[in-house]
Structure 1
Amino acid sequence: MRNRLLDATIECLVSYGYAGTTTPRVAEHAGVTRGAQIHHFRSKEDLVVAAIEHLAEQRVQAAMREFGRMKASSDPVSTVLDFLWEAHQGPMFVATVELWVAARTDAVLAAHIERVEPLVNSTLISAIAQLVPDHSMQKELRNFVYTAMDALRGILLASFVDRDSGRARRRWDRACEQLRMIISGLLTADSLD
């Protein structure tokens, strides 16, 4: 029942936003009574804090499932960029953004997100880092991945108000051209040392 409530919370975040995610609405989406919901989570804050952890776990599991596909690629840079695009699609990313925005003015949410978000990011980076066996390149790779995620997240945030559903992907493809030049330069510079 706990997982049903957490999954319903994520669904509500996606469908109604943070402000529209209420405990009665979550209970209704989960198909449980308000009493059952209160038994597991006494308040919206308790429910959302638990949902942050639940969402982080789901994001980590999704990243790990994609890892096998990444290792098999003959073009690791394109694979990494495609992997980042896929990792930032769908309801998990939308729910995450809702929580990030709500955390701007909610110190409790911010503290919990500040604790779990580095774990999610480090899982993504650790999976990607296995593509570059040269340990001297790990810092540059980490910085490259963070730069790519920052660009992608900005593009996707802007796309929430854009009616052209393909524009975000076109913007990401354009950014990828620049990102490929950056990583190629790093790889070339490293191979010359």
Structure 2
Amino acid sequence: MVTRTQEERSTAMRRRLLDATVECLVEYGYAGTTTPRVAERAGVTRGAQVHHFPTKADLVTAAVRHLATERVEFAAGETDRLKASADALGAGLDLLWGIHRGRLFVATVELWMAARSDPELRDQLKEVEPLVTGALAEFVRGQFPAQAARPAFRHWLYTAMDVIRGILVSEVAMTDDRLDQRWRRARGHLLLLAAGLGLEGGSVSGHDQKLTDTTDKN
């Protein structure tokens, strides 16, 4: 029988707490994510939770950073497919889209909204948000070493993430059955922008071009 060290047990407990926090943020929102609820879901005592994360703000911001790290690790597993794509920039955009969708974005939006009226949480997010965004950007830049140093590529990448987050806000607030179509249209425009900036590795398909030429109320 293998006996875990105290450090291993502590790491496992922190992970349970962080996973439980993300689940609660998604299920109950920020207001409903109480520290007793998180501790109960994680299967740990309140004392243990407070030992690892003294305040709710500590807990929820650490949880978002933890989830973002998981998503970057997931993306790292897609590196070979990304590099093999004939449309590397397009594949990179689709990967960013996939990374942002789901629990990561829902949990993050909950914190953005709560931070408006919670100074402690706002101060925490000012530190965590650049780290989360920077980690995602650094991963993508690492897949395009020949272009990563160009300011144009950096600005294009951050613009792409702003576009993705803007589109996904509607998914958090309500069901949007045109979400994928909106993304395809935005993706086409982002690839056209990349071409205009002289960035290599992207191509706009006929279908994407058609979407960029389409104007509708959305």
**TM-score of the superposed pair, with normalisation by structure 2:** 0.75
| More deviation, 177-186/29-38 | 29-38
Deviations 1:168-187 (A, max 9, x none): 11111111121111111112
Partner of 1:99: 111
Q: Secondary structure at the residue paired with 1:154?
A: helix
Once the 2 structures are TM-superposed, how far is the Cα of residue 143 of structure 1 from its aligned partner?
A: 1.0
| More deviation, 41-50/21-30 | 41-50
Deviations 1:88-127 (A, max 9, x none): 1121221122122222222322222222322232332233
Partner of 1:24: 36
Among the aligned pairs, what percent are the same residue? 53
Once the 2 structures are TM-superposed, how far is the Cα of residue 79 of structure 1 from its aligned partner?
A: 0.6
Q: If you compute each CA radius of gyration, which structure gives the higher value, 1 or 2?
A: 2
Which structure carries more helix by proportion?
1
Once the 2 structures are TM-superposed, how far is the Cα of residue 10 of structure 1 from its aligned partner?
A: 0.9
Distance 1:185 1:50, change over 3 A: closer
Once the 2 structures are TM-superposed, how far is the Cα of residue 135 of structure 1 from its aligned partner?
A: 4.5
Contact 2:21 2:63 in 1 (8 A): yes
Aligned-partner Cα distance in 1 for 2:110–2:171: 14
Aligned-partner Cα distance in 1 for 2:117–2:197: 39
Q: Which runs of 4+ in 1 moved over 6 A?
A: none
Match of 1:72 among 80, 84, 89: 84
Q: Secondary structure at the residue paired with 2:137?
A: helix
Aligned-partner Cα distance in 1 for 2:196–2:54: 53
Aligned-partner Cα distance in 1 for 2:57–2:143: 39
Q: Secondary structure at the residue paired with 1:17?
A: helix
Q: Secondary structure at the residue paired with 1:163?
A: coil
Aligned residue pair count: 188
Partner of 1:51: 63
Q: How does 1:132-147 map to 2 (within 5 A)?
A: 132-135=144-147, 138-147=150-159
Deviations 1:115-172 (A, max 9, x none): 23222323322332244444586211111111111111111101223334x3111111
Distance 1:178 1:29, change over 3 A: same
Distance 1:65 1:103, change over 3 A: farther
Q: Secondary structure at the residue paired with 1:18?
A: helix
Q: How does 1:106-145 map to 2 (within 5 A)?
A: 106-135=118-147, 138-145=150-157
Aligned-partner Cα distance in 2 for 1:115–1:26: 23
Distance 1:26 1:43, change over 3 A: same
Contact 2:106 2:172 in 1 (8 A): no
Partner of 1:182: 193
Partner of 2:96: 84
Once the 2 structures are TM-superposed, how far is the Cα of residue 9 of structure 1 from its aligned partner?
A: 0.7
Paired letter, 1:67: T
Once the 2 structures are TM-superposed, how far is the Cα of residue 26 of structure 1 from its aligned partner?
A: 0.5
Aligned-partner Cα distance in 1 for 2:46–2:148: 54
Contact 2:72 2:139 in 1 (8 A): no
Distance 1:117 1:59, change over 3 A: farther
Paired letter, 2:182: R
- Unmatched tracts of structure 1, length 5 or more: none
Aligned-partner Cα distance in 1 for 2:46–2:88: 49
**TM-score of the superposed pair, with normalisation by structure 1:** 0.84
Aligned-partner Cα distance in 2 for 1:33–1:161: 33
Q: Superposition RMSD on alpha carbons, in Å?
A: 2.4
